[in-house]
Structure 1
Amino acid sequence: MTTTPPHVGWAEADARRIHRQFLDEPAGTTPAEVTAAMLGAHAQVLSAAELSVALRAAKATRADVRSALREERTLIKTYGPRGTVHLLPAADLPLWTGALSAIPAGTSPMPADVRMTAAQTDEVVAAIADALTGAELTVDELTDAIVARTGPWAGDRVMDAFQDKWPRWRQVTHTAAHRGVLCFGADRGRKVTYTNPGVRPAEGTAALGELVERYLHAYGPAAPKHFAKWLAAPGGWAGELFAALAGEGRIEEVCFEGDPAWVVAGDTEFPDGPARGVRLLPYFDAFTIASQPRERLFPGEAYGRALAGGQAGNFPVLLVDGTVAGVWHQRRSGRRIAVTVEPLPSAERPVAARLGELTEQAERVGAVLEGTAELTVGPVAVGPHA
C-alpha cells in the first residue's frame, strides 16, 4: 500500500521558516542560541553578521554579539558552510567540524603546480594545529611557523589572490578550520589572527545526519539539491545521504510545490496562514541564502533587482510578508544612520501603506547599530557586494 506525501505550499513553508528564524518576533534568547537556529551567520561582512543575529534577539545590539564573540566566546568566527567565513556557536563546533570535514572534497581548482597533495595537506594541517595551540598568529606569523615545521614549499607564493600572491598553504585554510584546528582569533589592529579552538570533530556520519535534521528543521521542506547548494557539496552525494536518512526513518518525504522534498520525520505541522510583517535583512542574511526555491523568495522583478546573477546575499533586502519586495542600504555618520529603502515598483503601494512598520524596522536597525536611524524611501544607488 502506498500513501501520498502531504502537500506543502510555499506560503506555509515560508511562514514556518520565518518563525523558526525568529523573523516574525525577535526571541528572548542569547546570540549563540539565535545563531544556532540560523545554522550560522555569514560573516564575510562582520557588521552584517552582527546585525543578522541581533535583529533576531529581543533588545539585542551589536555589542551583545561582539561580547558573545570576543569575551564570552559563545560564538566562534571560522570557516563554515561553502568554506566561507561564519559565526557559529562554540557549543556546536564539534558538530560543524565533524560534518564539514566529512563532505567529499571536489577537484582542486588550483593549477597542477600549485595544488597540494593529500599528504601535504595533512602535513600542513598538523603544522597549523601545533603552531596555533595556545597562540594567536597573523597570517605572516603563521606562514613562518608552518614553513619551519614543513619546509619552504608550503610558503611558496604561488596562489593568485587580489593582485598578489599568497603562500601555497593558504589553499587549505578552510580545511584546517573544518578539521577543528583553526578559527579566527582577536584582530591585531587591521590584521586578523588565527588560533586553535581545540575542538575534536564529531564522528562524520553522525554529524552529517544531525546537520541534515537541523537544516530541514530550519529551512525545510527541502530537496537534496538545496542542501548541496547550501553546503557547496556534490549533488549526488547529498541525494545518497538523504536516501540513507530516509531509510533510517529520520526524515520523511512531502510534496512541496508539486515536487518531492523532505522534512524531519514527524515535523509536518505548518502555520495556517502566510507570513506577515515588514523586515530589513542585511547582506548575506542566512534566511535569504538558505531558503529555496529562490524564485519564490525573490519573485518576479525581485529576482533581477535583489540578486547578483542569481546569487543571494549581495544586497540587503526588504522583506514584506515573507518575500523580497525591495533592497535597502545604510550609511553611518557618527550616531546618525541614514537608511534608504527602495521598494520594487510592484511593491511601492503596499510599502507606502505600511510605512509605520517600515519605520519601526529602520529604528530597530538603528538601535542594533547603536545609533539613530533616519528613513528615506527612494532609489538605492549602491551596487551589489562582491
Structure 2
Amino acid sequence: MDTVEASAARNHRLRAHHLDGRVLLGRVEEVVGACGVQNSPPGAWETALWNRVENCTLGAIREALYERKSLLQAWSYRGAPVVFPTDQSDVFLGSLIARAGEGPWIYTSGITGALDHLQMPFDDLFNRTKAAVGYLDGHTVRSKEALDATIAELIERDLPSDRKARWRDPSMYGDPERQTVGQAAVSFLLRPCSFSSLVVFGERQESSPTFTSFENWIGHAPDRIPDADRELVRRFVHCYGPTTLDSLRAWLGSSRKQARRLWEAASEEMEPVRFEGKTCFALSSDRESLLDASDCTARLLLLGVHDPYLDLRDRNVILQDRSLQKLVWKYVGNPGAILDGGKVVGIWKTKAIKGKIDVSMTLWDDTPHVKRKQLVALAEQYAAFRSLELRNFQLG
C-alpha cells in the first residue's frame, strides 16, 4: 500500500481545483465542473473563479450563468446553492436523489417539528410539495421568502380542512410574524425538489435571487448522464483524495446508506493508500499525481468564503492548528482564507460601502516582506474585479 505525504496531497488538490495556475476563460465550465462551486454567501462563486480564471471579469462569468446558461445554480450537495455546468446537472442534482430506505438528508432532518405539528408523514408532504413546485414550469418567483409563501399557498388549497389551520400556524423555526409552519416545511423540502430539477435559481435581481424550474430556465429537460452517481463520487475523490466514505457523506449531507451506495458505485476505480496515519482511498488514475514529490507553483491566494478547496474534511492537511481552524471554519460568518503553497496562513475580510471596499488581513506567522507586498497587490486586484475602489487596507 502506497503512502501519500501531506505535501503531495496538497499539490495534487491544488491541481485538481485549478489553483496551480489560472486557466483561460474558455475553460470556465471545466473549472466549475471539477466539484461544483458553492455560492453562499451570494457572490462566493465569483471569487472562486477570480482565483482560477485568467482575466476573469464579473461580466464574462455572469454571462455564462445568466445569458449563455452554460452554467447553472441550484441547491445541490448539503442543500447548498451550487454553481455547476448546465449539461452536468444529472451529476450535481439527479445523482443526489435518495432511494427508498436510505434515510433523510441532514438538511431535512429539522423538519420533524413541523411534521409533528401538522400530523403529516414526510413522504406525503414531500409529494405535495413536488406537485406544487410544478407551478415554476411557467413562472419565476423573486426571493426565497416569496417562493416559500407561494408554494405553501398552493399546497394549502388541497390540504384536508383539519390540516389547514395547523398549516397557517406561526412557525417554530423562523420569525413567527413572517413565517408559517407550512412555509417552514416547504423551505426544508425545496432542497430535495431541486434534485429533480423542479426548482433552480434564475437571474439575480438586485439583492434578491429568483427561482424557476430547470425546463423553464433552460428550455428543455436536463440531459441524462449514464452513471451520474459514479461521476459525482469520482469528482469528489479526485478533488479531495486521499479520502474516506465518511468524508463523502459529510460533503454530500446524505445518510450513511446513501453515501455508501454512491461510494460503491465508484469503488472499482479507487485503491487504498496510507494517508495521515490511516487507510484512505484515491482514484487509481490519480496515483502518479499523489505520489509526485515536486511542488506546484507556490501561489499566494485570497480564497473566498466556502471556496471548494476549503471544503475538505481533513482540515489539518492545510491548517494543523485546531484553534486557528476555528477562525477559518465557523458556523456562520466565515472569513476568506489566505493560502500560501496550499496551506492556510491567515484570514481576510472585506466590507463594501458605496462603491468602495475595505480589506483587512490577519497573518499568523512571520511572512516575508515581498509576500506582504503581494497581498496588497492582490487586494487591489480583487477590488478592481469587484469594480470597487480600495479605500482601506489593513495587514496584521
One of 259, 263, 271 as aligned partner of 1:238: 259
Matched, 1:100 2:96: yes
SS class of match (2:387): coil
Match of 1:44 among 9, 26, 40: 40
| Aligned equivalents of 1:176, 1:218: Cα separation in 2 | 27
Q: Take 1:157 and 1:69, find their aligned partners in 2: how far apart are those partners?
A: 38
Aligned-residue offset at 1:31: 3.5
Quote how far apart the aligned CAs of 1:80 are: 1.0
Tell me if the contact between 1:318 and 1:326 (Cα under 8 Å) persists in the aligned partners.
yes
- Specify the SS of the correspondent of 2:352: strand
SS in 1 for 2:287: coil
Partner of 1:60: 56
Measured in 2, the distance between the counterparts of 1:278 and 1:188 equals: 34
Pairing of 1:319-334 with structure 2 (within 5 A) = 319-334=339-354
1:273 Cα deviation after fit: 2.9
Describe the SS at the equivalent of 1:172: helix
Secondary structure at the aligned position of 1:27 is classed as coil
Counterpart for residue 235 of structure 2 = 214
CA contact (8 A) 2:339 2:345 kept: yes
Q: Could you say what secondary structure the match of 2:72 adopts?
A: strand
Which sections of structure 2, spanning at least 5 residues, go unmatched?
216-220
Name the SS for the 1:279 alignment partner: strand
Name 2:72's counterpart in structure 1. 76
* Residues 326-370 of structure 1: per-residue CA shift (max 9 Å, x gap): 1111222444332211101xx1x2253412332332233123212
| Count, aligned residues | 364
Which among 293, 307, 323 is matched to residue 314 of structure 2?
A: 293
**Secondary structure of the structure 1 residue equivalent to 2:129:** helix
| Structure 1: tracts of 5 or more residues without a match | 380-386
CA distance in 1, matches of 2:222, 2:77: 18
Shift of 1:113: 2.3
Distance change in 2, residues 1:235/1:141 (3 Å)? closer
Q: SS in structure 2 opposite 1:56?
A: coil
Letter in 2 for 1:218: C
Residue 324 of structure 2: aligned partner: 302
| Higher-helix-fraction structure | 2
Question: 1:182, 1:240 → 2: CA distance?
Answer: 25
Q: 1:201 to 1:67 in 2, by over 3 A?
A: closer
Shift of 1:151: 6.6
Provide Cα deviations, 1:154-194, integer angstroms capped at 9, x if missing partner. 85355434323242333211011011111122345655432
- Distance in 1, Cα, partners of 2:125 & 2:150: 20
Q: Secondary structure at the match of 2:43?
A: helix
CA distance in 2, matches of 1:326, 1:360: 16
CA contact (8 A) 1:180 1:201 kept: no
CA-atom RMSD, angstroms? 2.7
The reply to whether residue 141 of structure 1 matches residue 163 of structure 2 is: no
- d(CA) in 1 for partners of 2:103, 2:205: 32
Determine which of 106, 115, 122 is the counterpart of 1:117: 122
| Structure 2 residue 153 is the aligned partner of structure 1 residue 132 | no
Whole-angstrom distance in 2 between the partners of 1:211 and 1:318: 28
> What CA deviation, in whole Å up to 9, does each residue of 1:24-43 have, x standing for no partner?
21111344332112x12211
> Residues 182-221 of structure 1 correspond to what in structure 2 (within 5 A)?
182-187=199-204, 191-198=208-215, 199-200=221-222, 202=224, 206-221=227-242
* Greater Cα shift, 88-97 or 361-370: 361-370
1:157–1:71 Cα change, 3 Å: farther
* SS of equivalent residue, structure 1 residue 209: helix
Q: With the length of structure 2 as denominator, give the TM-score of the two structures.
A: 0.82
Match of 1:163 among 160, 175, 187: 175
Change (3 A) 1:327 1:216: same
Per-residue deviation, residues 296-336 of structure 1 (Å, max 9, x unmatched): 2222153243232xx59822111112111111112224443
Q: Retained in 1: the 8 A contact 2:346–2:363?
A: yes
SS where residue 23 of structure 1 aligns? Answer: coil
- Comparing 111-120 and 93-102, the one that deviates more: 111-120
Percent identity, aligned pairs only?
A: 20
Structure 2 CA distance for aligned equivalents of residues 202 and 118 of structure 1? 25
Cα deviation for residue 53 of structure 1 reads: 2.0
Measure the CA separation in 1 of the matches of 2:82 and 2:127.
23
- Distance across 2 between alignment mates of 1:135 and 1:8: 51
Tell me what 1:358 maps to. Answer: 375
